[in-house]
Structure 1
Amino acid sequence: MPLASPRSLFLLAFLACVALMGGALYLEHVLGLEPCPLCIVQRVCVMAFGVICLIAALHAPGRTGVRTYSVLALLSALAGAATAGRQVWLQNVPAEELPACLPSLDYMMEALPFQDIVRLVLHGTADCAEVSWTLFGMSIPEWSLLAFAGMLVFALFQLLRRA
């Protein structure tokens, strides 16, 4: 039995990213959960993964193209998994050991150099350690980490497949 074409699988991966972003926007705008800096970075990684998959699906690349898109998707998923992993770790650190909360992103953009903003955002703060919503006992970052694990498996499958 032949495997599904890389093009159709990239399209399915893109649609999964659309569903993930729809869920994130639902949590934000309907349930009122404000995303922390690490959540925003994870959203960017999901969107990057989705855009890469959409371009791959529209391009319908050959074997070399599939590998190229797969590597790019893999890098995006790795960045997202690292960010989600950091947030899960922060949620399990005792409260007294957490870094202080950050000022708003707007204020940091006006007052700090870009590299300092990136460093502070990726480091995470007490904001990122707050568990404000769970589903089946798992927090949003844990679900996010699970989604990025799926993206990693997908990207590796596309990268290593023979057909």
Structure 2
Amino acid sequence: MTDDTLRLGRERRFLVLLGVICLALIGGALYMQVVLGEAPCPLCILQRYAFLLIAIFAFIGAAMRSRRSLTVLEALVVISALFGAAVAGHHVYTQAHPAVSCGIDVLQPIVDSLPLATVFPLGFQVDGFCSTPYPPVLGLSLAQWALVAFVLTLVLVPLGIIRNRRKSA
């Protein structure tokens, strides 16, 4: 095995771990929805889509053999995390300033018309309002935890790429 193969293997293992973590976060959100009765709002659902996209791109990237395709998939992971961070940031803002929300979520019909809402309504259909406060988990709201996860992804994926690619150059 060459040194380059080992480094790409490290990136692939990281992507698999990232994908598993994202699926676990979606599973945790479903648990809180079904068992604890916390209804998801449109921004919650969009964050689930972002986590799902990160997981899909991470798993596909982990299966890639060429450095170029791995880089493309890692870029898609970063773009998905950027989208998720923007949505989570807006969600945190909405929860901190409930007056911003008008009581009806204009995103609901749009989010409910996305394909996964009809295929898997339990996981991807809107059922609540974005300004509804739920009890914090370890001191942070779910939107804040999602923002932390997206920002960590935005930081760690490029850092891993730079670290691995610099050593192999």
TM range (shorter): 0.7 to 0.9
Identity of aligned residues (%): 31
Asked if the contact 1:71–1:159 (Cα under 8 Å) also holds between the matched residues in 2, the reply is no
Deviations 1:65-86 (A, max 9, x none): 2211111000000000000000
Please tell me whether residue 83 in structure 1 is matched to residue 61 in structure 2.
no
- Asked whether the 8 Å contact 1:36–1:128 carries over to 2, the reply is yes
Q: CA deviation at 1:157?
A: 2.3
Q: Does 1:129 align with 2:157?
A: no
Match of 2:18 in 1: 13
- Asked whether 1:102 is paired with 2:105, we answer yes
Distance 1:96 1:131 in 2: 13
Report the count of equivalent residues.
145
CA distance in 2, matches of 1:49, 1:96: 32
Cα 1:35–1:158 shift into 2, 3 Å: same
Question: Could you tell me whether the CA contact under 8 Å between 2:47 and 2:84 is conserved in 1?
Answer: yes
2:142 paired residue number? 140
Is 2:74 the partner of 1:70? Answer: yes
Which residue of the other structure, out of 39, 48, 70, is the alignment partner of 1:34? 39
CA RMSD in angstroms, aligned pairs only:
2.6
The reply to whether residue 92 of structure 1 matches residue 67 of structure 2 is: no
Q: Does 1:48 align with 2:56?
A: no
**TM-score, structure 2 length as denominator?**
0.76
Mind listing any 5+ residue stretches in structure 1 that lack a counterpart?
A: 115-125
Q: Deviations over 1:109-154 (max 9, x none)?
A: 6xxx99xxxxxxxxxxx92122112112211100110111121123
The alignment's TM-score, normalised by the length of structure 1, stands at 0.78
